[in-house]
Structure 1
Amino acid sequence: MTTPSLFSPLTLRGTTFRNRLWVAPMCQYSVEERDGVPTDWHLVHLGGMARGGAGLVMAEATGVLPEGRISPWDTGLWNDEQRDAWARIVTFIHSQGAAAGIQLAHAGRKASTHRGREGHGAVTLEEGGWSPLGPSDLPFSGLADPLPMTHGQIADAVAAFGAAAQRALDAGFDVLEVHAAHGYLLHEFLSPLSNDRTDEYGGSLENRARIVLEALAEVRRVAGDDVPVLVRLSATDWMEPEGLTLEDTVTVSRWLREAGADLIDISSGGNVPDARITVGPGYQVPFAAEVRERADVPTSAVGLVTDPELAQHIVATGQADAVMAGREFMRDPHFALRAAHELGVPVDYWPEQYERGTFASRPS
């Protein structure tokens, strides 16, 4: 039997993934000490999906600086205590046969926000929050007004991506992802809806993409020749023609490929709250397909991919090189093993402790 493409290995630089069904980064807002140090929750959350057969387990958006966190309850990688806590988690992911990745992020104007259970909107200075930074003073609706970044602050943020990348490698991560989507700092620079600068970081698409390419270059430098570096992009702001468009994203993806990106992780939206987005199974897959074909770069696809047949179809038809799932892995951490069963693909990475629970087993 020919192995379906979803369960064919994929190699990027020095890393081979056992399959192409990957765990998307999912914010957990679960660092109760507010110190950026991942906890037992992150070990069980990420480790469970590695045990469940995922090819790559991508850790959540992780702040490269304290002020780069979305909320005070986010994970970080700006100090060695955080690095050492991540190392424990990576070791377990590897013990289950999965590759470990981490999404390096700066939240920009969407930083210092509540996680929901405590309320909504900005966390004030009195509550332990901070003043967010952004490319401009244009706020995200309902959040605090950002302070426009100086050239020094831009340089500090770029350097922080590199420093966090080094800590991630020291912790054992196999894959690094630069987060430039969902309305966070790098996406804010890319989009004319959040960037009205008049210097070399604003105006033309080339200028607006400058910080993204600088951050990628710094991570690529640290990663060396063997470590895959991914970039997550929002393909569109869903506010054409005023916002970032798919055409812009194809162009930026070409630049990123030339600068050393190994795969573009395509999502969409997140930069403005009033975007009109039509959602449905696989609704963002056409963006990944377009970027893959026109920018000549590997892509991963996301967007309500909850059915193994759909995931298989996406990869088998060449719309993307891998599929990232989030909510379905939360509902079922063994989604990859279940998908293999439903697609009729034998895999040899069922945990030994769970062999009596395999779909092929029968009561004795």
Structure 2
Amino acid sequence: MLTAQTALTLNSPITVGSLELRNRLILAPMQQYQGSPEGYATEHHTQHYSRRAGELGMMIVESTAVSDNGRLVPNDIGIFTDRHAEALKRVTDAVHAAHTPIFVQLSHGGRKSAPEVTRKLVAPSAMAYDDTYGVPSELTAAEIEALLEDYRLAARRSIAAGFDGIEVHAAHGFLIHQFLSPLSNRRTDAYGGSREGRSRFLRDTLAAIRSETGRGYPLIVRVSSTDYTEGGLTPQEVALMLKPLETEGLLDGVDVSSGGLLPVQPPDVHPGYQVPDAAAIKQHLHVPVIAVGKIYTRPFADRIIADGLADAVAVGRPFLDDPDFAQTLIG
């Protein structure tokens, strides 16, 4: 006898890598601008994240720099020394007390690194984001190897800090996004040119992280689905870059955002405006896909998941004003 399949909802459990989440609501990474001058997490971070942890399936902390030369803002936090990991351990301990998994978001700003705390601005190609940042130096082969080592050591420290998984920041115009897009990557070596070449730095970054974490540790990637400019990335192009990485076992999920490579804005920012891009990328992949972007009501979130447009929903800004916002969606 045939039985109707129960529709998935925001409350349905989901597995990311080896980690089972109790529901599909994720706290999106949002900058707190409260790091110490040296890039350490502070008591603010411990209180902020633990206060919001209760009902969530999992949370992703804000951008966390893998290098002291790649911080996104002067009061960014980092994980580029063991002492930084010790400060972050206080955050993960507090969140775990609320029985919620917590991921770190590893990042490097590349040509969008904060000028105030950047010794040498670097990027795949010597092309400026704008006049504020200035023209970066094109990364040499040796400098690329050093950056991959930064990511590897950051992964080791992420485990030591107690994080349950890692999100690699490959979106919003920062370093890895700069490698991915033909608008910012004009290299003629193995890290440029073709789709395979432009995605190689992301691939090598994930492989470096996996060398520390092993296959069972959850590893996801945040991508920008589009550059909002002709000749830039599209959802289909991004999906075709990610598919070989999934096949290699290098990623366990994809967090789909958009834009940031150039100083241009989306033409229309409405509720769920990035969901169609998440759905387009999901068609090519088997790993969970996370949708984000003004998804603020339970019926809307449930419809996205039930219709198979995405596997989970990330929410950011409402949690800044209301630490208990999860109860609005999950309660």
- Taking structure 2 as the reference length, the TM-score comes to 0.94
Residue 134 of structure 1 is aligned with which of 123, 136, 146?
Answer: 123
| 3-state SS in 1 of match to 2:277 | helix
**Alignment match, 2:3:** none
For residues 212 and 104 of structure 2, the distance between their equivalents in structure 1, rounded to whole angstroms, comes to: 14
Residue 98 of structure 2 is aligned with which of 84, 89, 96?
Answer: 96
Shift of 1:4: 5.7
For residues 6 and 224 of structure 1, the distance between their equivalents in structure 2, rounded to whole angstroms, comes to: 29
For residues 7 and 109 of structure 1, the distance between their equivalents in structure 2, rounded to whole angstroms, comes to: 40
**Alignment match, 2:17:** 13
**Alignment match, 1:85:** 87
Residue 189 of structure 1 is aligned with which of 170, 179, 186?
Answer: 179
Map 1:263-278; keep pairs closer than 5 Å. 263-278=253-268
Deviates more, 1:181-190 or 1:152-161: 152-161
Shift of 1:239: 0.9
Map 1:261-300; keep pairs closer than 5 Å. 261-300=251-290
| 3-state SS in 1 of match to 2:10 | helix
Shift of 1:294: 2.1
**Alignment match, 1:118:** none
Shift of 1:296: 3.2
Map 1:110-259; keep pairs closer than 5 Å. 110-112=112-114, 122-123=115-116, 128-142=117-131, 143-240=133-230, 242-259=231-248
**Alignment match, 1:36:** 39
For residues 325 and 8 of structure 2, the distance between their equivalents in structure 1, rounded to whole angstroms, comes to: 16
| 3-state SS in 2 of match to 1:306 | coil
Q: Which amino acid aligns with 1:234?
A: S
For residues 153 and 277 of structure 1, the distance between their equivalents in structure 2, rounded to whole angstroms, comes to: 36
Q: Which amino acid aligns with 1:161?
A: Y
Shift of 1:13: 2.9
Deviations 1:320-355 (A, max 9, x none): 1110111122122212222123xxxxxxxxxxxxxx
Residue 106 of structure 1 is aligned with which of 101, 108, 113?
Answer: 108
Deviates more, 1:141-150 or 1:85-94: 141-150
Q: Structure 1 vs Structure 2: percent identity of aligned residues? A: 39
For residues 319 and 193 of structure 1, the distance between their equivalents in structure 2, rounded to whole angstroms, comes to: 28
Residue 306 of structure 2 is aligned with which of 306, 316, 322?
Answer: 316
Shift of 1:129: 4.0
Shift of 1:200: 1.3
Structure 2: stretches of 5+ with no match in the other structure: 1-5
Q: Contact 2:66 / 2:108 at 8 angstroms: preserved in 1?
A: yes
- Taking structure 1 as the reference length, the TM-score comes to 0.86
**Distance verdict in 2 for CA 1:226–1:25, change over 3 Å:** same
Larger radius of gyration: 1
For residues 64 and 129 of structure 1, the distance between their equivalents in structure 2, rounded to whole angstroms, comes to: 13
For residues 106 and 339 of structure 1, the distance between their equivalents in structure 2, rounded to whole angstroms, comes to: 32
Structure 1: stretches of 5+ with no match in the other structure: 113-121, 342-364
Shift of 1:49: 1.2
For residues 235 and 14 of structure 2, the distance between their equivalents in structure 1, rounded to whole angstroms, comes to: 26
For residues 317 and 64 of structure 2, the distance between their equivalents in structure 1, rounded to whole angstroms, comes to: 19
Shift of 1:293: 1.3
Q: Contact 2:225 / 2:258 at 8 angstroms: preserved in 1?
A: yes
Shift of 1:65: 0.5
Map 1:341-352; keep pairs closer than 5 Å. 341=331
Shift of 1:153: 0.8
**Distance verdict in 2 for CA 1:178–1:308, change over 3 Å:** same
Q: Which amino acid aligns with 1:36?
A: G
For residues 233 and 94 of structure 2, the distance between their equivalents in structure 1, rounded to whole angstroms, comes to: 39
Shift of 1:198: 1.4
| 3-state SS in 2 of match to 1:16 | strand
| 3-state SS in 2 of match to 1:67 | coil
RMSD (Å) for aligned C-alpha atoms: 1.5
Deviations 1:225-264 (A, max 9, x none): 3211001111110113x11122211101202212320101
Q: Contact 1:237 / 1:275 at 8 angstroms: preserved in 2?
A: no
For residues 202 and 184 of structure 1, the distance between their equivalents in structure 2, rounded to whole angstroms, comes to: 16
Number of residue pairs the alignment of both structures matches:
324
Q: Which amino acid aligns with 2:10?
A: L
**Alignment match, 1:64:** 66
Q: Contact 2:71 / 2:113 at 8 angstroms: preserved in 1?
A: yes
